[in-house]
């Protein structure tokens, strides 16, 4: 699922930050965004590559690189795994966060889904806090139009103070404008960080100022000092592990910074914050800001079709009905695959095994010795005939059915329904999709094998 040597490059996992520039003035642009918002589709359209895309979250699991050329300059695009947050909860989110912080991109293009902008804005605000080199691409405009969602793009641009473009990447609409704006943006000087977008409650702001005073220079180039101060306050262990891993330094070796951190933490503890309530407050402030901006820029005409979609969503992800519907669909897919595969399986098997006796006769007629005929016909050919007649028909039925479920958008709902169960074994709901495929493939093959025996 996305992790092929063809789509990723053989050494993608060795060091996800190794980007070889063919010219010193090559521009590196990271493609970030929530899962399933069309990052890889934009990446493929701009670079002409074939990164895996599909209608479920978590297809891209590590960085993929590709290049497009404009005005004789190379623009290296890095397709990051989807992330809901840069407070990472999964390995893919950590890969995305680490590239934004340590990969030194010249610009970050955040791709958003126009049909659920409010949720997407949470990540946008988090990334804007890290670096000013951010541009926004509101994708899925075709779907937004269908759902009668209207987004005031000039106002959004004004509120976020970053360039915003719209696109429907699947139909390749808006991509020329995106490329032009991206090229202009990467060539323009960076905005400064005078006014932060999100202001936290007073004790947190004071604590940030205390740490910033001990943080004379940012040890992460391109990264906002205010954000580093916030992370120092937030005890973000995974970020510090990242700094040690990628930069081989420990910021807290600096005695004055350590003293500032201790003072700041004492200040917020006195204000009644614990480690957990501080994190909750940081997230709450971002969510509140996203909500405010969303309400200002988005208007939706809630037509009957939208209502129908919402009711369907409720039914499919409901605690009571979600799992039974999922199991029934799984059984239906299984039933259609097995019964549907029976006829072509029988046909293929009689065809291939009928051919076997003719081949055997021909080998004997041609005087080929038994020790060549036996392994070739009774061994290799017979195994191949079994595999083709048993496996091919069920797979040819199962995968199109699975694709239909994917295109109807049912698979992300399955992942959502199973997330809390999978979390108990320290994984996430997305895992169930690959498990579905493996389980059905095995069951179908075994059943077909038993039926055909």
For residues 14 to 33, the per-residue mask of contacts with ligand GTP, x marking binding by CB under 6 A and - elsewhere, is -------------------x
State yes or no: residue 88 binds ligand GTP (CB under 6 A).
Answer: no
State yes or no: residue 40 binds Mg ion (CB under 5 A).
Answer: yes
Chosen residue from 36, 90, 131, 290 binding ligand GTP by CB under 6 A: 36
Which residues have C-beta within 8 Å of that of residue 306, sequence separation ≥ 6? 147, 148, 300
State yes or no: residue 84 binds ligand GTP (CB under 6 A).
Answer: no
Whether the Cβ atoms of residue 82 and residue 60 lie closer than 8 Å to each other: yes
Nearer Cβ to ligand GTP (170/382): 170
State yes or no: residue 44 binds Mg ion (CB under 5 A).
Answer: no
Q: Which stretch binds ligand GTP (CB under 6 A): 51-59, 237-245, 299-307, 340-348?
A: 51-59
- In order of 117, 132, 161, 175, the CA distances from 158 in angstroms are 16, 14, 5, 22
- In order of 82, 275, 282, 290, 301, the CA distances from 279 in angstroms are 22, 6, 5, 17, 35
State yes or no: residue 87 binds ligand GTP (CB under 6 A).
Answer: no
Q: How far is the CB of 33 from ligand GTP (least distance, A)?
A: 6
Q: How far is the CB of 182 from ligand GTP (least distance, A)?
A: 17
Chosen residue from 82, 103, 163, 394 binding ligand GTP by CB under 6 A: 82
Chosen residue from 45, 131, 139, 224 binding ligand GTP by CB under 6 A: 139
Ordered DSSP codes for 344-368: HHHHHHHHHHHHHHHHHHHHHHTT-
Whether the Cβ atoms of residue 409 and residue 55 lie closer than 8 Å to each other: yes
Which residues have C-beta within 8 Å of that of residue 321, sequence separation ≥ 6? 315
- In order of 209, 214, 382, the CA distances from 264 in angstroms are 8, 10, 74
Chosen residue from 12, 32, 39, 147 binding ligand GTP by CB under 6 A: 39
Q: Which of Mg ion, ligand GTP, none does residue 57 bind to, with CB < 5 to 8 Å depending on kind?
A: ligand GTP
| Residue ranges in 144-173 that form contacts with ligand GTP under rule CB under 6 A | 168-170
- In order of 118, 308, 436, the CA distances from 323 in angstroms are 27, 20, 14
Q: How far apart are CA 23 and CA 11, in angstroms?
A: 21
Nearer Cβ to ligand GTP (206/427): 427
Which token pair is 296? 């200002």
Nearer Cβ to ligand GTP (165/282): 165
Backbone angles phi, psi at 75, to 5 degrees: -115, 115
Q: Where along the sequence are the contacts to ligand GTP (CB under 6 A)?
A: 33, 35-41, 53-55, 57-60, 81-82, 139-140, 142-143, 168-170
């Amino acid at each position: 699922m996305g992790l092929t040597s063809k789509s990723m490059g053989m050494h993608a996992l060795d060091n996800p930050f190794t980007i070889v520039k063919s010219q010193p003035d090559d521009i590196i642009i990271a493609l970030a965004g929530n899962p399933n918002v069309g990052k890889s589709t934009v990446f493929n359209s701009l670079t002409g590559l074939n990164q895996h895309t599909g209608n479920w979250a978590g297809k891209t699991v590590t960085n993929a690189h590709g290049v497009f050329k404009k005005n004789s300059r190379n623009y290296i695009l890095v397709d990051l795994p989807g992330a809901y947050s840069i407070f990472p909860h999964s390995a893919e989110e950590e890969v995305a966060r680490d590239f934004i912080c340590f990969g030194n991109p010249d610009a970050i293009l955040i791709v958003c889904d126009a049909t659920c902008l409010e949720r997407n804005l949470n990540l946008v605000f988090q990334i804007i806090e890290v670096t000013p080199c951010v541009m926004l691409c509101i994708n899925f405009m075709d779907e937004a139009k269908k759902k009668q969602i209207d987004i005031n793009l000039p106002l959004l641009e004004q509120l976020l103070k970053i360039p915003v473009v719209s696109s429907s990447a699947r139909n390749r609409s808006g991509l020329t404008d995106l490329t032009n704006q991206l090229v202009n943006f990467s060539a323009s000087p960076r905005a400064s960080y005078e006014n932060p977008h999100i202001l936290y409650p007073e004790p947190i702001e004071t604590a940030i100022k205390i740490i910033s005073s001990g943080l004379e220079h940012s040890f992460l180039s391109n990264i906002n000092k205010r954000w580093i101060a916030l992370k120092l306050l937030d005890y973000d262990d995974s970020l510090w592990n990242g700094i040690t891993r990628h930069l081989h330094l420990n910021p807290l070796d600096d005695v004055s910074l350590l003293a500032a951190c201790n003072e700041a933490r004492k200040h917020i503890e006195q204000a009644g914050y614990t480690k957990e309530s501080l994190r909750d407050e940081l997230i709450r402030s971002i969510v509140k800001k996203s909500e405010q901006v969303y309400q200002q820029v988005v208007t939706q005409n809630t037509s009957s079709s939208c209502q129908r979609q919402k009711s369907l969503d409720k039914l499919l992800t409901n605690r009571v009905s979600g799992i039974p519907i999922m199991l029934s669909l799984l059984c239906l897919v299984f039933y259609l695959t097995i019964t549907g595969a029976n006829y072509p399986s029988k046909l293929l098997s009689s065809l291939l095994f009928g051919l076997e006796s003719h081949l055997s006769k021909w080998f004997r007629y041609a005087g080929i010795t038994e020790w060549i005929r036996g392994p070739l016909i009774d061994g290799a050919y017979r195994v191949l005939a079994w595999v083709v007649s048993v496996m091919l028909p069920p797979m040819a039925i199962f995968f199109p059915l699975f694709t239909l479920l994917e295109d109807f958008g049912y698979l992300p709902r399955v992942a959502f329904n199973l997330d809390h169960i999978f979390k108990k074994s320290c994984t996430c709901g997305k895992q169930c999709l690959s498990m579905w495929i493996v389980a059905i493939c095995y069951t179908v093959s075994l059943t077909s094998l038993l039926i055909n025996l």
